[in-house]
Structure 1
Amino acid sequence: MTRLQVWTLLGVAAMVWLLVLLGPILMPFFVGMILAYLGDPLTDWLEAKGLSRRLAVSVVFLVLSLCLIVAFVILIPLLGRQLGQLIEALPEMFNWVQTMILPWVREVSGLDFSTDFDQLRQALMANWKETGTFAAGLLAQVSRSGLALAIWIGNLALIPVVTFYLLLDWDRLKRHVRDLLPRRYEPTTTRLAIQCDEVLSAFLRGQLLVMLSLGIVYAVGLTLLGIQFGVLIGIVAGLASIIPYLGVIVGLAIAAIVAFFQYGDVLYLLGVAAVFGIGQMLEGMLLQPLLLGDKIGLHPVAVIFAVLAGGQLFGFTGILLALPVAAMVMVLLRYLHERYKNSPLYEAEGPPRGNEDSQ
């Protein structure tokens, strides 16, 4: 191993150790970095139209702020209301399943799930109560601790400040990092960085827009059908769409159960199926080709593993870092695979087939 490789490994280890130490304070910086990364293309486009960098950043920052304000003022209270109604309706739903669905299943299949379902209902209701108690206790503890509350508010207040200044100097920071690279490795590193940006931008910008679009389609369609908790089901289905087909499976199953419980009419089940069918057609024919193309390259299992591993290792900061790190690791693995396929080790001929058989 060369001295450069040793120093590189030591630098990576020191960086990981530093991230672990600074984990509690890094959240606003990483959130601001992600928001700046998402807003940079629009800023560059406005700058190309003749606006100064500061004015373009101000316009993008204003758009992001308005989106967040609309979400907090309109969407969050609506979701909270529907979630509260869902919790209140859970006992009635469980009773309906126990009196209507389970007898039908017993008649058709001869299997009796009454005891198992009763245990499941008790466990779920107990967990709902424990969740509410835990949330109330946590809120009370945070409110009693002035320092914890001040840190939480300070972190939230830092996010827009960090986002604004990173967005303002984003292109300059990229140039400085590129200038610091050793000239010998600068072309390869730049090529890999461009590939990482293509994968990451396709996933963060493209996949988020696909999820948002599907969530809106599902929520509006279910609400127009008069399905209870339509907005909540649509948002859940949209978020689950980060994994192919999981969103439509989860959303369709939940919406069908709610529709049948609410109306008891097969026509509403057909309406729910039509809503999710339209969403799938839009995703396959318009959203995926337009917003993602074929550049994403992240396998759904890799996405799940990256998010879970990041959360396990570094908490919420790790969740924020998971997908960018996964994209970079995937690009590096492709590069190493390409180098291996072109190496003498791969192209070297083995012993003749007859010699192998005789040994």
Structure 2
Amino acid sequence: RIGIPLDSQSITHYATANAQKLAGWLGRSLQVALSSGSGLISSVLSVILVPVLGFYLLRDWPRLIARIAAFIPPHYLPLSQRLAGDADAMLMAFLRGQLLVMLALGTSYAIGLSIVGLQTAILVGLVAGLLSFVPYLGVVSGIAMASLAMYVQTGAFLPILWVLIVFGIGQILESMVFTPYLVGDRIGLHPVAVIFAVLAGGELFGFVGLLLALPVTAVLIALLRHAHGWYLQSPYYLGKGS
């Protein structure tokens, strides 16, 4: 009735003519499905393995430290323990300061978004603050969530400009106030030095440099303090050398 021949000869001819296209489409679909499935399985396994590995690492941590200490020559062991303890203390101070930065940033985002009228300001602000531990992840995800929520709430694009302003101010506060004073003071680093360390890490090593700049700087500070003490007690500084 619709004028399309449905006899077996026409169907066979059509299938033969399009078999190559169909095979290519099926192959690409199978490849995408396999790659997506393997990626999903890998992500699920990672989520499962992290707490399991963390549990066994925490349980066997004293034994692991004892094994490492057994490889260090006995006359260097007290110095190695002191250096490792100072580096550990600096890293803990960095983590505490970073948690305060996340809390301060989330509070700032929540207050700013509340002022511009976003109904889900507290939720979006806290999530963006928690994700700010990873550079750029907090601000990007926060802008996306807040912009979508603002558009759903108002039905207009203009209020999204206020969202961008709030996150812009938050980034300025994080770079110029929160990180230098909340993290820098805890690791004994001047605010200008904190800003310089972050900029240098990002310039030299990109995203990984931004992520590791302050922890690496904290460890280097602990080591440099000991080096400074050795220098002040050295014969060269005290003028006892030849």
Return the TM-score normalized by structure 1: 0.37
Letter in 2 for 1:152: S
Task: Write the distance in 1 (CA, Å) between the matches of 2:59 and 2:34.
Answer: 38
Unpaired runs of 5+ residues, structure 2, are 1-29, 144-149, 151-157
- The alignment status of 1:302 with 2:197, answered yes or no, reads yes
Query: Is the Cα–Cα contact under 8 Å of residues 196 and 327 in structure 1 kept in the other structure?
Result: yes
- 1:263 offset after TM fit, Å? 11
Q: Determine the structure 2 residue equivalent to 1:8.
A: none
Task: Kindly indicate whether residue 77 of structure 2 is the aligned counterpart of residue 186 of structure 1.
Answer: yes
The residue that corresponds to 2:45 in the other structure is 154
Quick check: 1:212 aligned with 2:102?
A: yes
- Give me the whole-angstrom Cα distance separating, in 1, the residues matched to 2:115 and 2:131: 21
CA distances 1:282-315 after superposition (whole Å, capped 9, x unpaired): x99xx95xxx695413441224434665557xx6
Q: Secondary structure at the match of 2:48?
A: helix
The answer to whether 1:200 aligns with 2:200 is no
Alpha-carbon offset, residue 160 of structure 1: 1.5
Question: Quick check: 1:207–1:242 contact (8 Å CA) kept in 2?
Answer: no
Q: Once the 2 structures are TM-superposed, how far is the Cα of residue 223 of structure 1 from its aligned partner? A: 4.4
User: Structure 1 regions of 5+ residues with no counterpart?
Assistant: 1-139, 252-257, 350-359
Asked if residue 326 in structure 1 is aligned to residue 217 in structure 2, the reply is yes
In structure 2, the residue matched to 1:57 is none
User: Does the aligned pair in 1 maintain the 2:201–2:213 contact within 8 Å?
Assistant: yes
Task: Return the alpha-carbon distance in structure 2 between the equivalents of residues 320 and 173 of structure 1.
Answer: 27
- For residue 172 of structure 1, the aligned residue among 63, 80, 86 is 63
**CA RMSD for the aligned pairs?**
4.8
Give the whole-Å Cα distance in 2 for the aligned partners of 1:163 and 1:153: 16
Summarize the Cα distance change of 1:167–1:202 in structure 2 as closer, same or farther, 3 Å threshold. Answer: same
Which structure carries more helix by proportion? 1
Secondary structure of the residue aligned to 1:185 is helix
1:346 aligns with 2:237: yes
| Code of the aligned partner of 2:188 | G
Shift of 1:150: 3.2
Structure showing greater radius of gyration is 2
Identity of matched residues, %? 31
Counterpart-to-counterpart distance in 2, 1:330 and 1:293? 11
Return the offset for 1:185.
Answer: 0.7
Instruction: Compute the TM-score of the two structures, normalised by the length of structure 2.
Output: 0.51
- Cα distance 1:199–1:263, how it changes in 2: closer, same or farther (>3 A)? closer
1:254-305 Cα shifts (integer Å, max 9, x gaps): xxxx9xx6499xxxx9xx8xx98xx99xx99xx95xxx69541344122443
1:156 partner letter: V
Give the number of equivalent residue pairs: 177
